[in-house]
Amino acid sequence: MSNLLDKKCVPCEGGVKAFDISEIHKYQKKVDGWKIIQNDKKVYFLEKKFDFKNFLESQKFVNEVGKVSEEEGHHPDIVFGWGYAKINITTHAIEGLSENDFILAAKIDNITNA
């Protein structure tokens, strides 16, 4: 995972291919506990739920995720409430997963390990 932490998300305006399933599984091994989900439009994304002791801890985590996301220029979908946060990551411009998604996942995990 450390090599993903050392990388920076690269702006994506489309024009590149999303990872195929074998590439997705290769990168999935580099992040901890992220599920690969496919939505009804057949777009792959990463999903992970984080548990916390209360609402304030969830909110603090979400704020930190927001900071990292802004620094990386790559923004996840976040749902949170009392004691939890659920994060979904995909590269919308290519309708699938790219290295950027795994970089952001690793950096989000690093928040909880810090």
Model confidence at 114, in pLDDT bands (50, 70, 90)?
low
Distance CA 16, CA 91 (A): 11
> Model confidence over 6-43: pLDDT tens digits?
888 877 766 788 999 999 999 999 999 999 999 999 99
Distance CA 99, CA 8 (A): 10
Domains of the chain: 35-114 (3.30.1360.20)
Q: Which residues are registered as beta bridge partners of 39?
A: none
Residue with tokens 């496919």, as numbered in its chain: 38
> Model confidence over 67-92: pLDDT tens digits?
999 999 999 999 999 999 999 999 98
Check residue 22 and give its pLDDT. Answer: 94
Is residue 3 within 8 A of residue 27, CB to CB? The reply is no
Would you call 56 exposed, middle or buried from its count of C-beta atoms within 10 A (0-12, 13-18, 19+)? exposed
Distance CA 71, CA 87 (A): 17
Q: How many Cα atoms are found within 13 Å in the side-chain-facing hemisphere of 35?
A: 10
